[in-house]
Each structure stands twice: as C-alpha cells, then as structure tokens.
Structure 1
Amino acid sequence: MSSQELVKFAGVEKTYDGKTLVVRDLNLDIRAGEFLSLLGPSGSGKTTTLMMLAGFESPTAGEIFLNGKPITRTPPHKRNFGMVFQNYALFPHMTIADNVAYPLTVRNFSKAEREAKVLRALGMVQMDNLSARYPGQLSGGQQQRVALARALVFDPQLVLMDEPLGALDKQLREHMQLELKALHRQLGLTFVYVTHDQSEALTMSDRVAVFSDGIIQQIDIVTGLYETPANHFVAGFVGDNTVFDGTVAATRDGQCDLRLASGTVLSGLNVNAAATSSRVHACIRPERIEVHPAGASPGVNSLEAKVGDVIYFGDHLRLRCALPGQVDATVKIALSSPTVPQSGQTVWLRLPPEHLRVYL
C-alpha cells in the first residue's frame, strides 16, 4: 500500500432537502493502492460518499480531488473508475464476454483490443471458460465475478464497490472476501468498498472509515480500529463488546476509576477524558476477560458473576454471565481452556485495566 494520496475529499457535504446533512464536513484522503472500506449502519453516509466519488451524486459543498485535480463536476464516464453494485447490473440478453466488453465498446476500443482485454479480465476472476454463457445461466457468485471483471477490464485507476457481496450466502460471501483481498494484492489497484458488515471490513481492508450520522467517527488500520476504538459508537459497532455502565470516581494520567451501581470500582483507560462524576460506558472485548473459579483470588479489577448460558461456537466457547445492576456480560474462552464453568456456577471475571476502555 502506497502513502501517496490518490483521492481527497475536502470539506464535502451533502443534503437532499436543504436541511438535513447526509454527509457533513467530510475530509478524507484515499491512498493509491489501498483497500479502503467505508463502514457504517444504514443512513450513515457511506453510500452517498461512494456515489459522490463515482460522480452519480454531486456534493452540496466542498471539493473532491483526483491526483490533485478537482473532479467534483467531472461526469462519471470521464472519471475512469470501475464500479461493482450489489445487484451486479449485468445485461441479461448479452453473453458474459459481451457484458465484460461493454465498457470497452463505449470507449471505442478495437475488436482485437476488446477480445484481449476481456480474456484477461475473465482470467483474473477465473471465469474465462464461461464466456459464452448468459447471466441467467450463472450462480450468484459467478455473476459477481463477471461484474468484477467488467469493472476491471478497462484498467481503471480506482474500483468502487457498493456492498457487492450482500446478495450471497454466508459461506460464499466469506470465500469471495478472501478472493477479493487476494485480487487486490495481485493487481495493486485502489479499492473503495462500502459495507455495513464489520467482519467483512476487517477481513479485507487495509484501512476502514467508520461512518455514523454523516461523519467519519474513526479511520484506522483494522487492528487499530478493533483494539483502540476512538469512541463508544466505534467500540460498539466494530466487533463484540462487553459493556459496563457507571460513574467516574477519579481520574489520573489518562486513566480513571469507574464506580458501578453495585459499588464495585474498576480501573480503565479514560479514552475521551471523562471528568469525575461523569456517566460513562466501559467496554472490553469478550476475549480479553479472564475467568477465575469462585474460590480463587483474581486480584483487582474483578467482578463476581453467575454463569447463565455456555454456548459452543466451533472455535471458542461463549459465556453469558449475570452481574448485579448491569446487562449480562459476554465472555469468550478457548476450547482448550483447562476449566470450563458450567451454567449456574459463580465465577470471578477479571478485566485487565489496559483493555478496559472508558467512553463518554
């Protein structure tokens, strides 16, 4: 991945009714060769951002630059971007080869150039042996590959994808995620990918921009996004979390003490610099919680809990534990754990302070 800036959004805003901003003061740099995912719930502004980049929507304010030159008023067909939609948008009356050749036809490539480029693009997605078929004769996964080949065939400098795997079943979707990641690595193109699926974003991306209410809440590499969420929204939207509500009892050097309704005091990282007496949420990844038997001495930052359900997830066990005055805590433990609590047992949950993050 290059650090060179390819696309720049500068103060971009978008409103459809003149009142509500769907995208607010967007300042975003997209690096050449990176796989950037725009992640967020419905209505968060991620798809509108992609459509403005593609040229299908116009910003209400601000500018979009490509290689330092403004493209805000450049029509879509002159931006040289490949586009893949969720519904694939293939022409049903055209063969696979003709579907992939379509962008070359409208760009007036010669017949020989078209044939060579179509063969190469279909080869990239392992569909070259089905070029004579029609879209209706293909599975959903095969149609998705054809749509991707069509987006790549004219050698675009940027490939934009709007939830392209959303219509596939879980197993095929996960398989295609790995294939897309491998293809990105092989081609070295810049991919911008819209999704509401956080596991999809974490699997494929170099960086992820998390959207909410038209604003990027955090943009980071995937490990940074998962391990050090910038605020309560990101912590809750990306990955699983166990959450404790309480009040800040004391603050010191980037840390704070959190008093729960039960009176228990926990120490954690004071991410948003919450002041004493503030109502806050403390979040920790379920796999970071240590489980100790009732008779053991777990040390500081521990809570007594009662195990409700013990759920088998294939690669780990998930415990649901009841706590006084809190929602149930989720805990993940390895299948190889020497002691697996049973439903109904009392245990101690230790929350390492370096992994307990406190948010306003």
Structure 2
Amino acid sequence: MNANAAPLVRFRQVGKTYDGVTHVVQGLDLDIREGEFLSLLGPSGSGKTTCLMMLAGFESPSEGEIWLGDTLLNTTPPHKREIGMVFQNYALFPHMTVAQNVAYALTVRRVAKAEKAAAVERALDMVRMSEFAARLPKSLSGGQQQRVALARALVFNPRLVLMDEPLGALDKRLREHMQIELKDLHRTLGVTFVYVTHDQSEALTMSDRVAVFDNGRIQQIDRVDSLYETPENGVVANFVGDNNVFVGRLLSLQDERGEVGLPGGERLFGHVVGAARVGDTVRACVRPERMTLSSTLDSTAASFNTLRASTTGTLYFGDHVRVRFRLHEQESGFVKLPLDEAGLGERPIGEVLTLRFHERHVRIFA
C-alpha cells in the first residue's frame, strides 16, 4: 500500500436513511487507498455494513457521492462496478459445482468459454481448491466454502474486494487460520480489500488500517498500532482492546498532561485527549497488559502511577493469567500477567494489591 497514492474509493458526505429521519450513516467522508487492507469495525447497528452495501451497490446513498477512481458509483449497477463481494453466508449456488460457482461472475459478464475456463482455474489455484472443482458446495467444509466464495470474488480481476464478516461462521481455530491466509493472499495479489467485522482482534490482525464506526460515523481511522495505543476518544478506547477505566475528576492540566483525583483519594497522571477541562468528570483508561504487580519498579518515580486495590479473583487463559481487582467506587478491572509471572496470580480474594503503570499508557477522556 502506498500511503501517498491517490485514493481508489472516495466517500463524500455520504448519508443513508431508510425512513427519512434516522440516519444509519451520516456525513461519511472516507478515502480507501489503492492496495490497502481496510477493516470497518464496530458494533451491530454502527453503520459499517450499510457503508459496505452502498459501496457494493446493494444499497443507494440517501445523500452524498461514492467514487471508484473516476467513476461515480451512485447510479452504477453492482455488476458494472468492478467490485468482488464475499458474503457472510458465502451465497454459493447449491445446485452448481465449485467451478460453476466461480465461473458465474464471468458468465454474467459474457466472457468467452476458453477464457472463462482459464480464469476459473487460476482463481481456484489461488485459494488451493482446484481439486474440488467438480464438487457441490454441500460436500465442502465451512472453510472450503469460504475459499470458493473468495475465488468467485477474485476471478474477474476486480479493482476492489469487499467482505462482509466472511469468517463469522467458522470455529475459532479455523477462523484464525483463515485470517492469516487472507492477509497472505492480499499481500500476494495487491488488490484492495475492504473487510467488515465486529471482531476487534480480527481487524487488528489483518488490517493495514481500521475505521471504527459508532452511531453511523467514523470515530477514528488509523493504522492498527496507532488505533490501539492512541485512541482519539472513549468510544474507540473502550471498543478496541481491553481497558481498565477509572472515573474521577480532572484536578490539573498542563500541556495535555492531566492529574485525575479518584473518589478514594488516589491520584493518577496521564495524557488528556479531547476537550476535558479542569473540574470535569473524566475517564482514565489503561490497558491491562500495561499494568504490573511487580515490586521491582521504583514506586517513588514521578512517571509511574501507583494504586492500591483488592483482589477479586484469578482467571487462567492458557497464554496468560488475569488477576481481577476492585478499587474504591470503581468498576472491576484486571491485570494481564505472562505465564512466567503466573505465581503472582495465586492470590487470595481480598488481598491488597499494588498496581503500577507508566503515565504514558494512560489516556484521559471527558
């Protein structure tokens, strides 16, 4: 992906309403770069799927414009958009063989028979399904059907491939395997992928950039590392990754460094994001893997926050341990510990813990 390249897709003030009153998508401005893997991430009803359906041509925008290169898509029918689509339920024709399903996109485009056969063979080779060409979809596993649907989306060399939660029906292990395969295929082909999901780990694993949707608007669009480490508002911070949230009052603010007073009298420092002012109620967020119970840190260091909390339980996750805690008048939180520190997790309920975390890992939101 060339970050400086002209965008392949442009949304300009796009809105969608079904009743003329409530907007499912509103004021959407979005540039999708040539060759990138962009995920649209958000909860149900956030507008991400509607955005994808408008780009595919299965929904029409109520206002605004959608461009693919130099082509205005608003009135362009779906089969003339040079866009491949992979649906959540794969949408394979049950009475057609694998090869016939893949060939369908070429059939409606009236591609010559010999050219069509060669293209189908290439597409099935891409997804390692050539040996299943004569099979019917009902004889395939979920992962194999997903590959066939992807081959059908790629067979006519589209400029853009759209995917609507295509891995949602797969079990966890196969889903994670297919995430790697999709990312590798994207890297090999260089085709622009736009992927809709509500699974944050899926979006972070595969994407070059992620657009977080909520209430019909993009809350933040960024590289995956920036999205996780420096969320721009509380919506993004709470939806992307796990967070411990401490509610208190902003006591001081200097050059975006804020001091927060908690109800129990504790103080903590962090980076203030947005329009919070001194005296406001704020939410201070810190990732659980950024917290430690280790006694090796210097508790007097000004750059470290230190809180005292009580243990409420321990959870074993196989690759890490989570020590749950509660602080005075705060929501329950937890610390992630690697397995080599698992001994620290064997603590009785009610034991007092010392939590330490660097202030650079604290984001403070109004």
**Shorter-normalised TM range:** over 0.9
Aligned to 1:117, what secondary structure does the other structure show? helix
Of 339, 360, 364 in structure 2, the residue corresponding to residue 354 of structure 1 is 360
Task: State the percentage of identical aligned residues.
Answer: 60
User: Aligned partners of 1:335, 1:198: CA distance in 2, in Å?
Assistant: 24
Q: 1:137 to 1:54 in 2, by over 3 A?
A: same
Aligned to 2:341, what secondary structure does the other structure show? coil
Q: CA deviation at 1:343?
A: 2.7
Q: 1:296 to 1:139 in 2, by over 3 A?
A: closer
TM-score, normalised by the number of residues in structure 2: 0.96
- Pair 1:96-2:105 in alignment: no
Of 336, 340, 359 in structure 2, the residue corresponding to residue 336 of structure 1 is 340
Moved over 4 A (4+): none
Of 132, 135, 138 in structure 2, the residue corresponding to residue 136 of structure 1 is 138
> Which residue is 2:88 aligned to?
86
Q: CA deviation at 1:70?
A: 1.6
Q: CA deviation at 1:351?
A: 2.5
User: Aligned partners of 1:20, 1:172: CA distance in 2, in Å?
Assistant: 38
Q: Is the 8 A contact 1:318 1:331 kept in 2?
A: yes
Moved more, 70-79 or 28-37: 70-79
Q: Is the 8 A contact 1:255 1:268 kept in 2?
A: yes
Of 52, 60, 63 in structure 2, the residue corresponding to residue 61 of structure 1 is 63
Q: Deviations over 1:272-330 (max 9, x none)?
A: 1310110111101100012145x996235211112222221111111101211111221
Q: Is the 8 A contact 1:306 1:322 kept in 2?
A: yes
Equivalent position amino acid for 2:195 in 1: Y
Q: Is the 8 A contact 1:298 1:348 kept in 2?
A: no
Q: Equivalences for 1:101-120 in 2 at 5 Å?
A: 101-120=103-122
Q: 1:296 to 1:18 in 2, by over 3 A?
A: closer
Q: Is the 8 A contact 1:292 1:347 kept in 2?
A: no
Q: CA deviation at 1:80?
A: 1.0
User: Aligned partners of 1:172, 1:63: CA distance in 2, in Å?
Assistant: 38
Aligned to 1:243, what secondary structure does the other structure show? strand
Q: Equivalences for 1:1-360 in 2 at 5 Å?
A: 1-3=1-3, 4=5, 5-292=7-294, 298-299=299-300, 301-337=305-341, 340-341=344-345, 342-344=347-349, 345-360=351-366
User: Aligned partners of 1:308, 1:59: CA distance in 2, in Å?
Assistant: 50
TM-score, normalised by the number of residues in structure 1: 0.97
Q: Is the 8 A contact 1:195 1:201 kept in 2?
A: yes
Equivalent position amino acid for 1:209 in 2: A
User: Aligned partners of 2:23, 2:61: CA distance in 1, in Å?
Assistant: 11
Equivalent position amino acid for 1:351 in 2: F
Q: Is the 8 A contact 1:242 1:286 kept in 2?
A: yes
Q: Deviations over 1:160-192 (max 9, x none)?
A: 001111111111111111100000000000000
Q: Deviations over 1:179-229 (max 9, x none)?
A: 000000000000000001001000100000000000000000000010001
User: Aligned partners of 2:193, 2:187: CA distance in 1, in Å?
Assistant: 10
- How many correspondences in the alignment? 359
Q: CA deviation at 1:337?
A: 2.5
Equivalent position amino acid for 1:238 in 2: V
